[in-house]
Structure formats: C-alpha cells, structure tokens
Amino acid sequence: MPKPNAPTASAETIATSPEAVAERLAASRYLADESLATAIFLAIRLGKPLLLEGAPGVGKTEAAKAIAEVLGRNLVRLQCYEGIDAAHALYEWNYQRQLLAIRHAGEHEIDIYDDRFLIARPLLQVLKAPEERVLLVDEIDRSDHEFEALLLEFLSDFQISIPERGTIRATAQPIVILTSNRTRELAEALRRRCVYHWIDYPDAGREAEIIMLRAGDVAEATARAVAAAVQTIRARPLAKPPGIAEAVEWANAATILEKGGSPWPEAFRRAIGVLIKDEEDLSYIAPELGRIVEEALA
Amino acid sequence: MMRGESLPRAAAPMLGFGRLLRHYGFPVAPEQVSGFMQAVTLLGPRSIADIREAALATLAPTPDRRDEFEAHFQSYFYGNTSAVVEGDTDEETRIKDDGGANEDQIEAKQDEGGDLSSAVEQLSTRDFQRDDAKLTTFRRKLASALPARRSFRTVRAHSRGKLDLRRSLREIVSADGDVPSPLLRRRQTVPRKLLLLIDVSGSMKLHTSDYLKLAHAAVQGADRAEIFTFGTRLTRITGALRIRDCDQALARAAAQVDDWDGGTRMGPTLLAFLSVPRFSAFARGAAVVILSDALERGDHAELETAMRRLSARAFRLSLATPLAGDPRFRPATAALRAILPVLDDLVDGSSISGLTDFILSLARPAAAAAAIWKRVS
C-alpha cells in the first residue's frame, strides 16, 4: 500500500471547526453543507465513527474519499455484501504458503503463524496503521446481522483477537466512516455508537455548484439548467431517481453534444441516456422531457 | 465525561432534551446524551443552530421521524409549542415506535377491529380452532419451507464441498505434518426473504383480519419477512407484528394502518413501494405474495407497470385473491388479464388453510399462472 505523500497532520489540527472542515473538503472538490461538515467535525473530534445514510447516488462514498484526502490518509474500503464474514473483513491465514513452509522446513522448527503468512483484511489493515488510514465500511445495510455484531465489537474496542497471535490493538483511534442505503434498519446499538448524518439530495443551487466543480468545462448556465431539470425529474416516481454523479455526466454529455453542433434543448434530450438508465423511466419521462428542459433553461 | 460530581448548570437542558425524546419513544441511550453534551461543548456553541446540528448528529433520529424530532427541538429550545405535531401525514410509510405516546390511539382503533371481526363471525361458520392449529403449524414449518438460495457464507460439511484449508491445516499441524482425511466446507443455503403485501381496502374487508393473523405467524416464523398493508396508502407493519402475543400485535398493527376499508389504489401504492429504495431492495430475490382481489378502479396501466417491476425483482411473485375461492372464478377483469403474464402464481386466498398450504409450497416449482389459467378456461 503506498504511503500518503503529505506528512500526516494530526486530525485535530485539520478539524478546528465545522467551517474549516467544509473549506478543506471544498478544496478536495467535495461540497459539504453545514450539517454534514458539522457531523464530520464531530466524528473526528469525538473520536466516533461517522454513519452516513442516504439514497443511492447522493455522494456518501465520495464524502469518505474526500475526508481521507483532506486528512492526507489512505482510504481502506470494505465493501459489504450478504454473507461477508470475518475472513473477508478481519484477517485470513495464507494456508497454501503455510503448507509449503511446513514442507520446506522439513526437520527445522518453523513458526507458521508468522507475519508473512497473515493476510490483513481491511479492518486489520486499519488497526495496524490507524494514523495513516481511513476505514470506509461501504453499504453496511447489505451485510447480515452477524456481521453487524462483529463490526460493533470492532468499533467499540478497536481491537482484533487472533487466537494464534493474541490481541492486536490500535495505537490510536482510527477514523471510520460507515455508509448505508437504508435498505434495512441498522441495529440501534450501531446507530448510537456513531455520529449520524442523513445525506439528502442537494438543492438546485448547491447541485449546480457541485456540477461546476465536478464536470470538465460546463458553462454556469448549463449547470444551473441541469440542476433545475434534475430536481424536477427526481420528484417523479421513478424506479431509479438520478443521483448527483448522473447529473454531472448529463451536464458533460450535453456540453459535448452542443459543441458537436446540437442546439441547446436538443442536446439535453439526446444526452438523456446518461441521466436515466432505466427503459421504463425513460418512456415515462420522455413526453414531459421537452417541457422540463425548457422550463429549466428559462 | 461524567465524573460523579454534579453537572454544570448549562448541561441541564441537554439532559432534559434527551429525557423528553425518550418520553416520546425515541431510543436515546445515555452515551448518546453524553455525546450530545460533548458535541455542544466542541461546537462552542455559538448559536442554537449549533445545538441543533449536534443533536441531529449524536441523537440520530431516523429519517422517518426527523420532522417529529425537529418539532420537539423547536418546542424545547425555542418554547414554540405550536410546532409539535403528532407524527407526519406523509404518503410514505411511517414506522411508529413502541413509545407510550401511541397508547390512546390503539384504544380508539380497537373498536374498529372489533367491528371487523364481528362482521366476519356473522358471515362465516368456519372452524376457528382449526385455523389456529393451521397457523401454529405454519409458523413452525415456515422457515424450512421457504425457497432457499445459496449464501456466500460457508458451513462445515462431511461430503460435497471444497477443502476447508483453515481446519485442515490445524489438523495437519496437530498430526505433525501427516495429512489426515481432508475436511470440507460448502456454501450454506439460507431461506429467501418473504414479502407479504396485504390489501386492506373495503372490498377485502372480510379477509383482512385473517390475513393479519397469517402475517403475524409469518413474521414470527420466518427469518426475514416484511409485511406491508396497502389501500390508498402504504404502511409497513412488520414492527408491530414482531410482538409475540398475537392479539397485542394485531391491535398495534391495526392502529398503524390509517386506510382501513377505504378504496384501493393498488397500482400507485405498489409504485410507491418500489420507489422507496430500501423497500424495493427487500423485494429483490424475495418470495412476494400479494393478498388482494386486484379490483383496480379505473386505469390499470400503473398496476401493470408496478407488477412488472415487482416481478423483475422478486424470486417469485404470487397473487392470492379471495375471489378464486369460487370455482367459477376466471381471471377475466382487464386488470387481471393485464398482470397475469407476469405472475408466477394466481391462487385462492379465501381461507387461511389454503393460504398457509400455498405459502409452504412456495419452494416447489409450479407452472406459470398464465399457463394454468389458460388450461382452465
């Protein structure tokens, strides 16, 4: 794993106030509203994990990446899925190498529980270097209850017991970010151990700013029009409401089409495929699209 | 944080706010209150807005109760009591907590539930004892009878599996390098999720109380079951049905549903169900059983869309209609004809025993509903 380039400043000197956090995040091209900045600030200063919940596509994972960048640390990501277990999250022995080593050693004494046989999974990686890494436990709602319990234990003590090696403790409090799409309710115990923030879709003004910041070269008028149109589209009962990333792509695609010679409202219509990626949603919104775009452009 | 000595006076409001929230049924733990106080200290606090942010971040109200939380905050810190509302009146599902605040509401609705069941009693002379016995067996058998899928998790196995290197290595080490017979592991099979969508509109009046009993047995019996009722709205009642005692659970569920015996807007409510990501994610790979007569008033285009989407997500999509209890029943209404091609089963939902037998047979393959009903008609 590459070391971060910048020398690791202590997290507390970076997070002096919510405003300072917001500024730093903006410099890392992530626009956090006041509430999110406060939650991040509190999580860092209280030394608690940060639990971010929100609909898909509101930028939960991006927030974690930006926090890691601000702190000058590497992001260690643990993607959850149903059935994820300790061997995928904590550690695993490299059994093949152990077997080979036993054969190779012959009559000699050999410690098969040496470091070189230990495969550190994300949670252990973070424990070993808490001041160089940020742990992202992504989409925790996809994992099952057993894993949630395991995580709960990890988050309260920041230690892992390996029967053959004893207990490994973090030398400092690691920074942990959990995200959830809320496909199921998380255990109360987990919620109350964390600093909690519900990320909503941004309002049109903020979304326009995000598009300006993230997209290549999109005119401000375009960004505003895209943000306004996306707000209207999200209000419809779609199977997959467009996220922020899709809005950015739409602005980009429309700009490219416009440079290629399509006039404005037409460019938006032709680029709709990058915004709405469900055939039914597309046919649902198609009759209204012209009007929505024109209203947004006005 | 707390060191035996008495707290500074400025801390009292934070403590009081935690207590107030608990009174209204918000789960607030002591460590959250102390976290709240720490957060307020860290933030300055420069204004009430800081206190609000700190409260939101540390006391963590669920998004469904956010409005209620805001109202309590307003009334507590600003003294603005007019803001307190008893829950929101959103279209969306609201999950009421087990707090004492809902107590009188339950009383009020219980009468209605009584009316319902007496109507059932007048009409039918079924053997209730038999139904109860059926439900008990149903509850016991359900977890093992639901369709299964292979999980990513592995369990020890004696045959048919992959080498369990971890355990084998231990054996080898303890046998001093000898290789005993290899130990195996294979992927576990787990029951699929069960999703019951119950129609509580006027036309289903005679059956809803039976259906709720069935739903209660399902929640108690299955590992992962979710129950929703729909009429003109969509209500999640799984939480209420987790209570072990059947009568108590049904009373609480009855209090949560606001659209008893009203009209049906099956298409729009099912679409609403699908547009909430956490609900539609539950439907993915689940056995979905809709208990409804599918008598959709007016245009059925939305119902068709909703059913198609649901069937694309579900492992098996079944519609149980009480109308099919009549041997002369044919799926002849425009709405039923439209949704028949996407249904896996269209079965009789007029009795508890028929329904329990059907749900217990979900794991067994069956011909598609369209094929079966084509043969009949």
Q: Summarize pLDDT for B271-322 with one digit per residue, the tens.
A: 888 887 778 888 888 999 999 988 877 788 889 888 988 988 899 999 999 9
Q: What is the mean pLDDT of residues A46-69?
A: 92
pLDDT reading at A66 higher than 90:
yes
Q: Which two tokens stand for residue B299?
A: 């245009």
- pLDDT at position B101 is 33
A85 CB neighbours in chain B (<8 A) are: 152-153
CA distance A15 to A71: 9
B305 CB neighbours in chain A (<8 A) are: 280
Distance from CA of A184 to the nearest CA of B (A): 6
What is the domain partition of chain B in residue ranges? 9-83, 122-145+192-376, 152-189
B305/A112 touch (CB, cutoff 8 Å), yes or no? no
B35 CB neighbours in chain A (<8 A) are: 46, 48, 195
A280 CB neighbours in chain B (<8 A) are: 305, 308-309
Question: Do residues A259 and A136 both lie within one domain?
Answer: no
Question: Do residues A231 and A152 both lie within one domain?
Answer: no
pLDDT band (50, 70, 90) for residue B125: very low
- pLDDT at position B84 is 54
- pLDDT at position B227 is 94
B43 CB neighbours in chain A (<8 A) are: 18, 38, 41-42
Q: What is the mean pLDDT of residues A156-171?
A: 88
CA distance A160 to A4: 25
Consecutive H or E run containing B154: strand B148-157
Task: Choose the final residue of a domain: A199, A220, A249.
Answer: A199
Distances (CA, A) of B281 to A182, A183, A236, B229, B286: 9, 6, 19, 18, 9
Q: What is the mean pLDDT of residues B231-240?
A: 88
Mean pLDDT over each residue of chain B, to the nearest integer:
81
**Does residue A159 sit in helix, strand or coil?**
strand
Task: Choose the final residue of a domain: A140, A172, A199.
Answer: A199
Q: Which two tokens stand for residue B357?
A: 């037998």
Judge whether B151 is closer than 8 Å to chain A, CB to CB: yes
pLDDT band (50, 70, 90) for residue B128: low
CA distance A73 to A24: 14
B173 CB neighbours in chain A (<8 A) are: 102, 112
In a domain, A268, yes or no: yes
Question: Do residues A163 and A25 both lie within one domain?
Answer: yes
CATH fold of B122-145+192-376: Rossmann fold (3.40.50)
Domain that holds residue A260: 204-297
Distances (CA, A) of B256 to A64, A87, A159, B70, B105: 37, 42, 43, 22, 9
How does pLDDT run across A102-147, given as a tens digit for each residue? 888 878 888 888 889 999 999 999 999 999 999 999 999 888 878 8
- pLDDT at position B5 is 57
A181 CB neighbours in chain B (<8 A) are: 277-278, 281
* Stronger pLDDT, A7 or B371, i.e. the higher one: B371
Q: Which A residues 198-217 touch B at CB under 8 Å?
A: 198
Listed in order, strand segments (DSSP E) in B246-363 are 287-291, 316-321, 345-348
pLDDT band (50, 70, 90) for residue B256: confident
Mean pLDDT over each residue of chain A, to the nearest integer:
88
Q: What is the mean pLDDT of residues A146-153?
A: 87
Judge whether A5 is closer than 8 Å to chain B, CB to CB: no
Judge whether A81 is closer than 8 Å to chain B, CB to CB: yes
Judge whether B178 is closer than 8 Å to chain A, CB to CB: no
B60/A34 touch (CB, cutoff 8 Å), yes or no? no
Number of domains in chain A: 2
Nearest to B278 among A45, A181, A195 (CB): A181
Q: What is the mean pLDDT of residues B75-103?
A: 50
Judge whether B38 is closer than 8 Å to chain A, CB to CB: yes
- pLDDT at position B114 is 37
Beta strands B287-291; B194-199: pairing state: parallel
Nearest to A48 among B35, B43, B63 (CB): B35
pLDDT reading at B96 higher than 80:
no
Nearest to B309 among A51, A55, A239 (CB): A239
Q: Give just the sign of the alpha carbon dihedral A200, A205, A208, A212.
A: negative
In a domain, A161, yes or no: yes
A183/B277 touch (CB, cutoff 8 Å), yes or no? yes
For the whole prediction, is pTM greater than 0.80? no
Question: Do residues A110 and A51 both lie within one domain?
Answer: yes
Chain A's closest residue to B95, CA to CA, is A185
CATH of residue A46's domain is 3.40.50.300
* Chain pair A-B, CB pairs under 8 angstroms: 107
pLDDT reading at B4 higher than 60:
no
Lowest mean pLDDT among A282-296, B112-126, B169-183, B330-344: B112-126
Question: Do residues A184 and A105 both lie within one domain?
Answer: yes
Task: Choose the final residue of a domain: A199, A227, A259.
Answer: A199
* Stronger pLDDT, A89 or B300, i.e. the higher one: A89
pLDDT band (50, 70, 90) for residue B67: confident
In a domain, A6, yes or no: no
- pLDDT at position B83 is 54
HSE (side-chain half, CA atoms, 13 Å) at A120: 16
pLDDT reading at B98 higher than 80:
no
Judge whether A274 is closer than 8 Å to chain B, CB to CB: no
A141/B39 touch (CB, cutoff 8 Å), yes or no? no
How does pLDDT run across A189-211, given as a tens digit for each residue? 888 889 999 998 999 999 999 99
Q: Which two tokens stand for residue B336?
A: 């039923």
Nearest to A83 among B27, B29, B153 (CB): B153
Question: Do residues A193 and A220 both lie within one domain?
Answer: no
Distance from CA of B40 to the nearest CA of A (A): 9
pLDDT band (50, 70, 90) for residue A9: low
- pLDDT at position A80 is 93
pLDDT reading at B344 higher than 70:
yes
- pLDDT at position B346 is 92
Question: Do residues A216 and A241 both lie within one domain?
Answer: yes
Contact between B250 and B216 (Cβ < 8 Å): yes
Chain A's closest residue to B37, CA to CA, is A46
B58/A195 touch (CB, cutoff 8 Å), yes or no? yes
Question: Do residues A42 and A100 both lie within one domain?
Answer: yes
Q: What is the mean pLDDT of residues B180-195?
A: 87
Judge whether B277 is closer than 8 Å to chain A, CB to CB: yes
Angle between helices A220-234 and A279-297 (to 10 degrees): 130
Nearest to A237 among B57, B58, B275 (CB): B275
